[in-house]
Structure 1
Amino acid sequence: MSDVKTALLVLFALMHIKSLPGVYTVRSLYYFVQPRSLLYYVKPGYRPQPRVGLLGTKRYHSRVWFDDLDLNIHLNNSSYNKMMDFARIDLCTSLFPSWQHLHKFDIMLAQTVLLFKAEVPRFSKYTITSRIFTWDDKWIWIQHRFSIKRKVKPVRKTPLEMVDDAAVQRGHAAADKISESLEDEEDDLIMEEEDEDDIDPIEARAPQGSSSINNDDNNNNSSSRNVGSSSTQASHVPSSSRGNVNGAASLDVPDKLCCIAYSRMVFKTPKGKTIKPAALFEKMGHKEAYPGEWEQYRELGMSLVESMMKIEGHSAEATPASRRLVAPTRAKI
């Protein structure tokens, strides 16, 4: 009987392994004790280069486990903040690889704002895409986008799609005809519509040729968008190159946005003096792709943050106006 109890306890611990004592600390320290960190002690004066561009993104992947579930059997609210901690550390150690070893500055978290859009279902994989959103002379805002894969029914082939592959390869006309037939059969594709908020505001409003869009850590094309446009493209390729089975066409479907979060942070010296973000960026080895790139990106992000948080004309620390409570009147019977 004792063996059964032990097995059950071990199984229960494994189901909640992310919440066991000390696991959070070990996961956080992992980013500072990686093998490349030993170079600081082996090579005097070693200064690593940033692994992510200043305007790039960093993706953190995770999955909803038993200890992440709430009463509604989906990702609970506290897990969003906990996973944002790891995503922030991952981003900051990639942007500023000498941050913790040189100990010339500290990164302090001042505020987090979460805007929920959809649930993250139980046991599903999700991705946190983090990046620097904007900054001023004191604060820096980091954006986190929680997303999951969309559920899509396969597109069944129409009669026009069942053209011989040789005919398709003879020219673009046949391929265009097949693409048009797919567009006509809208009922065959059942996909959740993309909300307006799902579209990245920086990407949608950035000028053509901006390097802030494709400056990703792993350069994968999870979704193909036109810069300056809110429409998402799903290219239809000839059936010979689709690699599908049972007549199902593969489409490049954008991820579903579940939550947008913002972290407001500040850089401090060990003595508590505030460091201006722009000065720190240059000191850490970041450079502009063209003159004015950072300022253009910063102004666009700041306008969106001010609009979202409604802080135009007021400081972020401003206290709300005092309200005079009025005693309720009693109805006369």
Structure 2
Amino acid sequence: MASNIPIIIKSFLFILILLNIKSFPLAYHIRSIPIFLKAFKDRNADNEGKDIFQIVECKYDVLFDDLDSNLHMNNSSYNKVLDHARGYFLGTLFANIMWYRKPSIMQRSVLMVFDHEIPPFSNYSVHTRILTWDHKWLVLVSYFRLHKDNKIASLGISKCIFKEPNGKTIRPEEIFEASGYLKNESEKGKEEREKRRQRGMKFVEGIHVAEGLFDDEFVKDLNLKNKITAKL
């Protein structure tokens, strides 16, 4: 039956599948396999002396299923890409913890800020590093950089929390120490790390404020009778 299909139709279907390959069932999970392989490979890595603020780069391409009606990268695609880049970052810096301690990593907030569009079929990278942390939350910043002109198109800020299998919160600095990053750290290194942490914290204060919209005072408005319901 398949042999009777004209070659032009076969070619069209092949191109259509190729252009939308990232939207196929299980495609997201298959693309996540390198994260687990990286964590397995580096599970016994010695991170002593390494910079906790090091940057991890992930490279991507804008395919047809990343585009919106304006023919540039869809806003929803940024979060999917960011989720992958964030996972690869955590699997790279904290492979030993991820592999042996198996914590759950949950997202409290994700903020995207757009500066320039990412054109169709362009190449870009996502550069992720630690922005700041406190006694509970780890905050990452990820920059979307176009390869063509080296322009930063957008950035994403991710607020994460680590949990033990029993639900107990793991402090970010405990994760750092268990991963070997703070081993034999000098006093000068501690001071510089704290300065960078405090500098980064200034940029996430607005996220903490926005999370206050979960308060009952604001949520109760969702039950008003004069709301408009859209049928999709």
Q: Normalised by the size of structure 2, how large is the TM-score?
A: 0.81
Q: Is the 2:42–2:92 Cα contact (8 Å) retained in structure 1?
A: no
Q: Which residue, out of 46, 49, 62, partners 2:46?
A: 49
1:10-50 per-residue CA deviation (whole Å, 9 max, x = no partner) reads 2211111111111110111222135x83687xxxxxx2234
For these two proteins, the number of residue pairs brought into alignment is 213
Residues 315 and 68 from structure 1, CA distance in 2 versus in 1: closer, same or farther, beyond 3 angstroms?
closer
Alignment-derived partner of residue 147 in structure 1 = 145
1:305 alignment counterpart: 204
Aligned to 1:64: 62
Q: Cα–Cα, structure 1 residues 149 and 277, in superposed 2: closer, same or farther, change >3 Å?
A: same
- Structure 2 CA distance, aligned partners of 1:309 and 1:19? 31
My pick for the range that moved more, 5-14 or 87-96, is: 5-14
The CA RMSD measured in Å over matched residues stands at 2.7
Q: Is the CA contact 2:109–2:159 (under 8 Å) kept in the aligned structure 1?
A: yes
- Using the TM superposition, give the Cα deviation of residue 295 of structure 1 relative to its aligned residue in structure 2, in angstroms: 1.7
Cα distance per residue 1:40-97 (max 9 Å; x no partner) = 7xxxxxx223496311111111111111111000000111011101111111111101
Q: Which residue of 2 aligns with 1:111?
A: 109
Question: Which has the bigger relative contact order, CA under 8 A and spacing at least 6?
Answer: 1
Residue deviations 1:102-159, cap 9 Å, x none? 13422112210111111001111111111110011111111011121465xxxxxxxx
Is 1:269 matched with 2:164?
Answer: yes
Q: Residue 286 in 1 paired to residue 181 in 2?
A: yes
Higher strand share: 2
Measured in 1, the distance between the counterparts of 2:181 and 2:213 equals: 30
Corresponding position of 2:37: 33
Task: Supply the distance in 2 between the matched residues of 1:120 and 1:49 (Cα, whole angstroms).
Answer: 37
**C-alpha displacement of 1:315:** 7.0
Aligned to 2:215: 319
Moved over 6 A (4+): none
Identity across matched positions, percent: 32
Aligned partner of 2:229 in structure 1 is none
Gaps of 5+ in 1: 41-46, 152-254, 328-333
Say whether the 8 Å CA contact 1:143–1:262 is kept in structure 2: yes
Structure 2 residue runs without a partner (length 5+): 227-232
Q: 1:117 to 1:142 in 2, by over 3 A?
A: same
- Contact 1:50–1:97, Cα closer than 8 Å, also in 2: no
Partners of 1:315 and 1:111 lie apart in 2 by 8
Other structure's SS at 2:109 match:
strand
Following superposition, the deviation at residue 100 of structure 1 comes to 3.3
Is the alpha carbon distance of 1:262 and 1:133 closer, same or farther for their aligned partners in structure 2, counting shifts above 3 Å? same
Whole-angstrom distance in 2 between the partners of 1:86 and 1:119 = 20
